[in-house]
Structure 1
Amino acid sequence: MSHLQLDHLHLRYGNAPAVEDLNLEVQDGELVSLLGPSGCGKTTTMRAVAGLLAPAGGTITLGGQDITRLPANRRDIGLVFQSYALFPHLSTFENVAFGLRLRKVQDAELRRRVGDALEVVGLSEFAARLPANLSGGQQQRVALARAIVIEPRLLLLDEPLSNLDAKLRLDMRGELRRIQRELGVTMLYVTHDQDEALALSDRIVIMRAGRIEQQGTPEQVYARPGTPFVADFMGWQNILSAGNVPEPLRRTHPAATHFAWRPESVTLGAGPTSGRVLARTYQGEHLEFLLDSPLGRVKAFAPVTAQWAEGSELTFTLPPERAAALRDA
Structure 2
Amino acid sequence: MIEAHGLTKSYGGPGARVRVLDGVGLRVAPAGIHALLGPNGAGKTTTVRILSTLTTPDSGSARVAGYDVVADRRRVRRLISLTGQSAAVDETLTGRENLRMVARLTGLSRPRARQRADELLTRFDLLDAASRQVRTYSGGMRRRLDLAAGLVGSPDPGVYFLDEPTTGLDPRSRRELWQVVRDLADQGATVLLTTQYLEEADQLADRVAVLDQGRIVAEGTPATLKSRLAGHRLDLVLSSREAYLRLATRAVHHSPETLTLGIPTDGTAAHARALLDDVDPHRTDVERFSLHSATLDDVFLALTTGPTEAPAHV
1:133 corresponding residue in structure 2: 136
User: In the alignment, residue 177 of structure 1 is paired with which amino acid?
Assistant: R
Q: What are the Cα deviations for residues 229-265 of structure 1, in whole angstroms up to 9, with x where unaligned?
A: xx9xx9887785469xxxxxxxxxxxxxxx9427988
Task: After TM superposition, give the deviation of residue 50 of structure 1 in Å.
Answer: 1.6
TM-score in terms of structure 2 length: 0.73
Q: CA deviation at 1:12?
A: 1.4
Paired position in structure 1 for 2:254: none
Contact 1:264 1:300 in 2 (8 A): no
Using the TM superposition, give the Cα deviation of residue 116 of structure 1 relative to its aligned residue in structure 2, in angstroms: 1.6
By how many angstroms is 1:145 displaced?
0.8
Distance 1:102 1:328, change over 3 A: closer
Residue 66 of structure 1 deviates from its aligned partner by: 1.1
1:57 corresponds in structure 2 to 59
1:168: how far off? 2.1
**Counterparts of 2:72 and 2:101, CA distance in 1:** 22
Q: 1:119 to 1:54 in 2, by over 3 A?
A: same
Contact 1:78 1:147 in 2 (8 A): yes
Normalized per residue, the structure richer in helix is 2
Alignment of 1:238-277 (within 5 A): 241=249, 260-261=263-264, 271-272=276-277, 273=280, 274-276=283-285
Superposition pairs of residues 161-310 of structure 1, within 5 angstroms: 161-182=166-187, 184-225=188-229, 241=249, 260-261=263-264, 271-272=276-277, 273=280, 274-276=283-285, 300=290
Distance 1:138 1:264 in 2: 42
Between the aligned partners of 1:162 and 1:149, the Cα distance in structure 2 is 23
Question: Following the alignment from structure 1 to structure 2, what is the Cα–Cα distance between the partners of residues 260 and 114?
Answer: 53
Instruction: Tell me how large the CA RMSD over aligned residues is.
Output: 3.5
Q: Deviations over 1:11-52 (max 9, x none)?
A: 111321111111111122121110111111111101111222
C-alpha distance after superposition, 1:100-141 (max 9, x if no partner): 211220122222222221111111121111111111111111
Matches within 5 A, 1:97-112: 97-112=100-115
Higher RCO by CA contacts (8 Å cutoff, separation 6 or greater): 2
Which runs of no fewer than 5 residues in structure 2 stay unpaired?
237-246, 252-261, 293-298, 305-314
Residues 271, 103 of structure 1: alpha-carbon distance in 2 compared, 3 angstrom cutoff: closer
The change in CA–CA distance for 1:51 and 1:236 in structure 2 (over 3 A counts) is: farther
Contact 2:21-2:214 within 8 A present in 1 as well: yes
Q: How many pairs were matched up? A: 263
- Shift in alpha-carbon separation, 1:42–1:169, aligned structure 2, 3 A: same
Shift of 1:167: 2.7
Identical-pair percentage? 27
Distance 1:265 1:124, change over 3 A: farther
**Judging changes above 3 Å, is the alpha-carbon distance between structure 1 residues 236 and 165 closer, same or farther for their aligned structure 2 residues?**
farther
Q: What TM-score, normalized to structure 1?
A: 0.70
Equivalences for 1:10-159 in 2 at 5 Å?
10-14=8-12, 15-71=17-73, 75-76=77-78, 77-152=80-155, 153-159=158-164
Cα distance in 2 for residues equivalent to 1:195 and 1:235: 17
Are the counterparts in 2 of residues 54 and 69 from structure 1 also a CA contact under 8 Å?
A: no
CA contact (8 A) 2:50 2:69 kept: no
| Letter in structure 2 aligned against 1:44 | T
| Distance (whole Å) between structure 2 residues aligned to residue 263 and residue 116 of structure 1 | 50
More strand by share: 1
